[in-house]
A and B are shown apart, each in its own frame.
Chain A
Amino acid sequence: MSDVAIIGIGIHPFGRTEGMTGLQQGVHAAREALSDADMEWSDIQFAFGGSAAAGSADAMVNDLGLTGIPFMNVSNGCATGGSSLLSAYTTIKSGQFDIGMAVGFDKHPRGAFNADPEASGLPKWYGETGLMLTTQFFGMKIQRYMNDYGITSDTLALVAEKAFNNASLNPNAWRREPVSKDTILNAMMVSDPLTKYMFCSPAEGAVALILCKAELAHKYTSKPLFLKGAAFRSRPLGSFEVFSPSLEIERGPSPTVGASDATFEMAGMTREDIDLAQLQDTESGAEIMHMSENGFCKDGEQEKLLQDGDTKLNGKFPVNTDGGCIANGEPIGASGLRQVYENCVQLRGAAGKRQVQGNPKTAYTHVYGAPGISACTIITT
């Protein structure tokens, strides 16, 4: 079976764009990806796309052109982008089509996400009494982790400081002003131990990727990248997930562990092969825990890795080189594809001032979301 190549990438800057719908931002990203691959919308044979709160992706055909292609809407929470990409990958791998697009976009109101208990299969009282907030889950998961593995608040702040520093070198990022570690530590507490600057916020943005059968890639680009692995998993018994009125006493692995292992197995690679990674950083604690859940270090080693600067742009293993969710915000449908976009930019050597040095050849992405889902990818030159 042939490999799958990524030949075109497009983005609409993340943040807040007044006067532009999420769907329009999706169209912008799609056009940029087409232009990047030097192709027309009529060359695209199929598409997968989605948003959580900004409408149906297939409505983009009104702007892009009525070519009659199958355009499938994907709705999978925080893994919407990852699921679109995986679906496009499988479609090409199966031989059904040769060239397709994966697109994700979103536009959320300000403030924390509203949650609907019944839509999540939970009792009404759970939301009514103020227990159903994603921010609480993030605070409680890292609180326990810090207790078990000796992670300090100082290290939580280093994660956020790194995010804003990286974003200051990324013209498509939302929060591009560096914020000092002390400011981060002393900012308003949102959900202990996490302060305001340690959290990402709901936002807007869009990303589109064009994929094709590897044999065709050189027709469209001199530097094709290859999607070597992509896997999605839902939660196993015993994982600690958002919106859980109760948890098993016997703790088990998170869905990330399964998705990560499956991705590496598919790619036939090991963690040591990876040059840089984008890991879901809904907040500082998530990035830290996801470093070990994805197998890049043991539990507790993050304290020294962060303090030594190993995950900075110039460190041994750069993480969230574009500023991650913390500095780009969280447009749910677009975040997973933003990570892949950033890896493509880095592997093309086109990241400008935030370019990871040493000619990186392999890059990894990981998303995580409610109600306990995770999707990962490995891309190589």
Chain B
Amino acid sequence: MSNQKPIAENLFTWPSDQPKLLGSKDTETGRYFFPAKKSNTHEQVELSRKGKLWTWTVQRFMPKTPYIGTENPEDFKPYAVGYIELPGEIMVESRLEGVDPEDLEIGMEMELSIDPFVKNEEGEELMMFSFRPCKN
């Protein structure tokens, strides 16, 4: 595990068996923010690991910069993207893994997952969050 690190600081709890996204809550208004906002009135909060798919699409062509995925245009595989509604908190935009786009449905139960995204120049695996359908 030592050669793995989150793609950004303060994005999710790591390392952890039950990682959670890190957001913030405005103590005056009660509104949730993701990613976490640094402010005198904000407290950091761990967001729910599970939620419902609110909407989705599929990225069918390989993105240009600033995308750092290491696929070639020839072996690029379309990936799904969606918003997950974390009950009572906020909707989070995320890549959707472990599911065929054909099977995506608004309202389906999804769960947070942390996986290697790319390797950086030092050979470290940069870890990124995604959501996957809940295992029943």
Contact = CB atoms under 8 A, between A and B. Distances in A.
Given A125-B7, A140-B82, A245-B34, A133 B58 contact: no
A125 B83 contact: no
Given A117-B66, A140-B82, A129 B57 contact: no
B14 interface: no
Contact of A248 (B69, B91, B106): B91
B87 to A, nearest CB: 8
A189 B101 CA distance: 12
A246 B48 CA distance: 14
B117 A129 contact: yes
B65 interface: yes
A130 B95 contact: yes
Nearest to B106: A147
Interface residues of A, number: 36
Nearest to A127: B66
- Give the interface centre of A127, A128, A132, A191 by most chain B CB atoms within 10 Å: A128
Interface in B47-66: 54-61, 63-66
B57 A140 contact: yes
B89 A249 contact: yes
A139 B101 CA distance: 13
Contact of A189 (B58, B81, B89): B58
A140 B53 CA distance: 11
Most chain A CB atoms below 10 A, which of B57, B95, B128: B57
Interface in A176-217: 188-193
A140 B8 contact: no
Contacts of B15: none
Contacts of B65: 114
B70 to A, nearest CB: 11
Interface in B82-98: 82-83, 85, 88-95
B7 A244 contact: no
Contacts of B83: 140, 247
Given A123-B8, A129-B128, A136 B55 contact: no
A191 B59 CA distance: 6
B131 interface: no
Interface in A99-133: 111-112, 114-117, 123-125, 127-133
A189 B60 CA distance: 7
B99 interface: no
A143 B57 contact: yes
Contacts of B101: 192
Contacts of B106: 143-144, 147
B117 A248 contact: no
B67 A130 contact: yes
Contacts of A147: 55, 106
B67 A128 contact: yes
A248 B90 CA distance: 5
Interface string A235-251: 00000000011111100
A110 to B, nearest CB: 11
A136 B59 contact: yes
Contacts of A116: 66
B44 to A, nearest CB: 15
A130 B57 contact: no
A130 B60 contact: no
A144 B11 contact: no
Contacts of B95: 129-131
Contacts of A245: 34-35, 92-93
26 contacts: A112-B63, A116-B66, A123-B35, A124-B66, A125-B11, A129-B68, A129-B69, A130-B59, A130-B67, A130-B69, A131-B94, A133-B63, A140-B81, A140-B82, A143-B106, A147-B106, A189-B58, A189-B60, A190-B61, A192-B56, A192-B60, A244-B93, A246-B32, A247-B90, A249-B85, A249-B91
Q: What are the nearest 3 A-B pairs in CB distance?
A: A139-B57, A127-B66, A144-B55
Given A140-B83, A248-B31, 7 more contacts: A128-B66, A130-B67, A130-B95, A143-B106, A192-B57, A249-B89, A249-B91
